């Protein structure tokens, strides 16, 4: 245990200074090209070079994904540079002393039997294998992989954004996937260039070998006075040994390059993958066994190798067949143990309904492509979720964006809980121009209506955009039109989008910081469903629920008196008076309102006392119709003078008055006196009265 702990500490210390070690190694490689090395040190470095090449090759075989060895291109450069530095050092020793250590001598004498011609032939064959076969193929694969990876990046980015908007992944997972895509593109791009190092190394090996032979012969004949045959034997043999020592690690590195660029992402190592796939079909092994046996019977061919291989192949076929039969038997037994009756198809996933959907025609698909010039829809929808959260305090579900071929190409549909609530049509390659009220001159375009608010507008071409802006028009792009429409639909239907689970999540978020508020209210005084109804009532009239802790405190104060959600909503509105007042304050700092005749308020109070279940008489119906008519007249006057229609009444009747007029006049705001803070400036411009005066 002590030894293991010491080893771990040393390894940790080594990794801490690994950057310094790598930098020092690169500097030493460059120094090797200038400073002469002794023969014993050259031997050690040559063995180290072969060892590094073997380790790199084995690492590539155990790598499941190319990104697990993302440093391979840089390592390939360093290994190539190291090998060339060794060539320079060995060349210096060969030409100066006619000796370059035991390693080179052993390769020159033992590996090729002391015959420099055989050694030269072997060296050339190794260079051809490396240069023509492995390096050329690996470089081509890396080039194609880099090209395809770059071409696939936009589609992969869109898939990530779609999964993010659909809620299948979170932002951290999306960020990780984007980083992986970038690393893949960088890796294959780097491998496309790094393969040129290996190709250049092969060429340099041939050139260095020829220069060494020629230089050795010249030195041996001219300087040392050796016969031509002896000079050729000594220097050519050492040079060939040096070339073999260099080319074997180069061949290993180039093989590793080919393996890593041809590997796809897998769940197992290279050896396991190859073995599993080769032995997957026992029939192929059986056919190979028969063919080997037939070749052994052919006169003139050596029988021992063919029969031996046929026996080995037959034995392997037998073992694999038994294993496959055992797998099949186990599978049948598991099926027999399972219920024999066919299980009915699960239709539960078909019942799932997305809370919020945006369907687009195929002509608008470019808006969802972040790489396109017209793209940005996915990003803007994400911004809408943040905007609604800050504005209303509502955490929207993920907006599902999907294409619908049944729609006209340029149309879109907004659905809530699977039901269409809004639609619109977009003119691609056009801009929407709206009259801002300060237009100096008209522009030509196609007349239409702005889908969010129904305002008159024009579809103008890109060339007219600048002129329309200078003329005073408000010009927006098609993506902004869709996003604005979606935002307004969400505001109008915010109450429908607040589910019970959403309410529970909001309450749990409050519990993290103010547990006493939640524990007092739930479940002793109110249920989550009752709290949900109160929050929905607030959202239905555009009151933000962002300060939900204040709302819960108010409910805790009055839930012991009544559990009527409508009455509790009025109490909650009063506690949010400052928020409500600020929403309707005009540019001049005043809240412009129209009051309600006390006679109408008294009549409404009597209707409230009768109870909601009381049948409405004809007289009551006429009263309701008259009130709606008078409110409509007042709202028209206020809108005509540039003011938002706001009706101010006493607290006890506000809710009932709003219910009376909301079907006909949904945009008229009804406030109570308790919802206006004392420091607000209120200006009345009229009174809603049933009297003619």
| pLDDT for residue 2 | 47
Digit-coded pLDDT (tens) for 165-181: 666 677 778 778 777 77
Among the listed ranges 37-41, 138-142, 663-667, which one has the minimum average pLDDT value?
138-142
| pLDDT for residue 608 | 78
Percent of the chain with pLDDT over 90: 17
Measured distance CA(379)–CA(396) in Å, rounded: 15
Average pLDDT over residues 88-97: 76
Q: Residue 3: which pLDDT band, with cuts at 50, 70 and 90?
A: very low
Average pLDDT over residues 342-367: 74
Q: How is residue 35 written in tokens?
A: 């400073």
| pLDDT for residue 233 | 67
Percent of the chain with pLDDT over 70: 73
| pLDDT for residue 1 | 44
Average pLDDT over residues 654-681: 89
H, E, C per residue of 255-281? HHHHHHHHCCCCCCCHHHHHHHHHCCC
| pLDDT for residue 204 | 74
Average pLDDT over residues 484-497: 91
Asked whether the predicted pLDDT for residue 561 surpasses 80, the reply is: yes
| pLDDT for residue 273 | 60
H, E, C per residue of 124-168? HHHHHHHHHHHHHHHHHHHHHHHHHHHHHHHHHHHHHHHHHHCCC
Measured distance CA(408)–CA(360) in Å, rounded: 9
Q: Residue 614: which pLDDT band, with cuts at 50, 70 and 90?
A: very low
Digit-coded pLDDT (tens) for 4-35: 454 455 555 555 666 677 677 777 777 777 77
Q: What is the pTM of this model?
A: 0.54
Measured distance CA(600)–CA(617) in Å, rounded: 17
| pLDDT for residue 165 | 66
| pLDDT for residue 642 | 84
Cα–Cα distance list, 265 to 139, 261, 389, 400, 421 (Å)? 19, 11, 40, 30, 45
Q: In what order do the strands lie in the sheet with 419-425?
A: 400-403, 356-360, 411-416, 419-425
Q: Residue 247: which pLDDT band, with cuts at 50, 70 and 90?
A: confident
State the Cα torsion 27-33-37-40 to the nearest 10°: 80
| pLDDT for residue 4 | 47
Q: How is residue 462 written in tokens?
A: 């890109």
Average pLDDT over residues 406-435: 90
Q: Residue 258: which pLDDT band, with cuts at 50, 70 and 90?
A: confident
Average pLDDT over residues 414-432: 90
| pLDDT for residue 441 | 85
Among the listed ranges 123-127, 380-384, 461-465, which one has the minimum average pLDDT value?
123-127
Q: Residue 256: which pLDDT band, with cuts at 50, 70 and 90?
A: confident
Cα–Cα distance list, 103 to 115, 215, 390, 450 (Å)? 16, 21, 74, 83
| pLDDT for residue 693 | 47
Q: Which residue has the tokens 């038997």?
A: 329
Average pLDDT in the chain: 78
Nearest to 559 by CA among 514, 518, 620, 504: 518
Cα–Cα distance list, 623 to 74, 305, 421, 515, 690 (Å)? 86, 110, 32, 47, 9
Asked whether the predicted pLDDT for residue 595 surpasses 90, the reply is: yes
Measured distance CA(64)–CA(191) in Å, rounded: 17
| Residue 570 contacts residue 541 (beta carbons within 8 Å) | no
Among the listed ranges 60-64, 609-613, 645-649, which one has the minimum average pLDDT value?
609-613
Nearest to 378 by CA among 172, 177, 174, 150: 174
Average pLDDT over residues 666-689: 90
Q: Where is mean pLDDT largest: 139-153, 358-372, 530-544?
A: 530-544
């Amino acid at each position: 245990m002590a030894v293991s702990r010491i080893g771990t500490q040393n390894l940790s210390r080594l990794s801490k200074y690994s950057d310094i070690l790598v930098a020092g190694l690169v500097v030493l490689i460059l120094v090797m090209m200038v400073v002469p090395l002794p023969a014993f040190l050259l031997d050690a470095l040559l063995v180290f070079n072969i060892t590094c090449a073997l380790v790199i090759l084995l690492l590539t075989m155990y790598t499941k994904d190319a990104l697990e060895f993302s440093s391979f291109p840089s390592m390939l450069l360093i290994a190539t540079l190291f090998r060339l530095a060794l060539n320079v050092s060995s060349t210096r020793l060969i030409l100066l002393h006619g000796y370059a250590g035991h390693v080179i001598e052993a390769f020159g004498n033992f590996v090729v039997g002391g015959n420099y011609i055989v050694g030269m032939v072997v060296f050339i064959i190794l260079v051809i294998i490396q240069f023509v076969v492995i390096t050329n193929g690996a470089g081509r694969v890396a080039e194609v992989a880099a090209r395809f990876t770059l071409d696939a990046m936009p589609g992969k980015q869109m898939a990530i954004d779609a999964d993010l908007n659909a809620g299948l992944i979170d932002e951290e997972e999306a960020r990780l996937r984007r980083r992986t895509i970038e690393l893949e593109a960088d890796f294959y791009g780097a491998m496309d260039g790094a393969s040129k190092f290996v190709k250049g190394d092969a060429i340099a090996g041939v050139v260095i070998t020829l220069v060494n032979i020629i230089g050795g012969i010249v030195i041996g004949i001219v300087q040392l006075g050796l016969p031509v045959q002896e000079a050729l034997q000594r220097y050519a043999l050492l040079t060939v040994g040096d070339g073999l020592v260099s080319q074997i690690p180069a061949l290993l590195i180039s093989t590793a390059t080919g393996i890593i660029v041809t590997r796809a992402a897998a769940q197992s190592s290279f050896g396991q993958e190859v073995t599993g796939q080769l032995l997957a079909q026992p029939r192929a092994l059986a056919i190979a066994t028969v063919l080997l046996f037939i070749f052994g019977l052919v006169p003139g061919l050596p029988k021992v190798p063919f029969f031996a291989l046929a026996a080995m192949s037959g034995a392997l076929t037998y073992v694999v067949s038994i294993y496959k039969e055992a797998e099949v038997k186990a599978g049948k037994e598991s099926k027999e143990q399972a219920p024999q009756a066919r299980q009915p198809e699960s239709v539960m996933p078909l019942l799932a309904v997305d809370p919020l959907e945006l369907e687009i025609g195929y002509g608008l698909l470019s808006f969802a492509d972040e790489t396109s010039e017209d793209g940005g829809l996915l990003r803007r929808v994400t911004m809408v979720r943040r905007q609604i959260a800050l504005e209303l305090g509502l955490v929207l579900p993920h907006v599902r964006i999907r294409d619908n071929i049944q729609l006209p190409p340029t149309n879109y549909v907004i659905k809530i809980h699977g039901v269409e609530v809004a639609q619109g049509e977009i003119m691609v390659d056009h801009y929407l121009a709206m009259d801002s009220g300060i237009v100096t001159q008209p522009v030509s375009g196609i007349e239409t209506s702005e889908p969010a608010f129904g305002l008159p507008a024009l579809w103008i071409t890109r060339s007219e955009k600048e002129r329309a802006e200078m003329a005073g028009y408000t010009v927006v792009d098609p993506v902004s039109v869709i996003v604005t429409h979606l935002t307004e639909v969400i505001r109008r239907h915010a109450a429908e989008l607040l589910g019970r689970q959403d309410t529970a999540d909001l309450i749990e978020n409050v519990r993290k910081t103010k547990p006493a508020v939640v524990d007092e209210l739930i479940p002793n005084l109110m249920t989550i469903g009752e709290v949900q109804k109160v929050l929905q009532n607030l959202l239905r009239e555009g009151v933000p629920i962002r300060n939900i802790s204040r709302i819960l405190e108010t409910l805790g104060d009055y839930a012991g008196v009544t559990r009527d959600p409508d009455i509790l909503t009025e109490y909650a509105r009063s506690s949010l008076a400052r928020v409500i007042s600020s929403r309707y304050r005009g540019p001049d700092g005043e809240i412009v309102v129209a009051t309600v005749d006390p006679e109408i308020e008294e009549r409404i109070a009597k209707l409230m006392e009768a109870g909601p279940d009381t049948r409405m008489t004809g007289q009551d119906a006429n009263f309701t119709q008259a009130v709606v008519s008078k409110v409509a007249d007042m709202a028209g006057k206020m809108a005509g003078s540039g003011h938002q229609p706001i009706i101010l009444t006493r607290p006890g009747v506000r809710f009932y008055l709003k219910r009376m007029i909301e079907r006909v006049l949904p945009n008229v705001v009804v406030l109570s006196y308790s919802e206006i803070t004392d420091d607000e400036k209120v200006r009345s411009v009229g009174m809603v009265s049933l009297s003619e005066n």
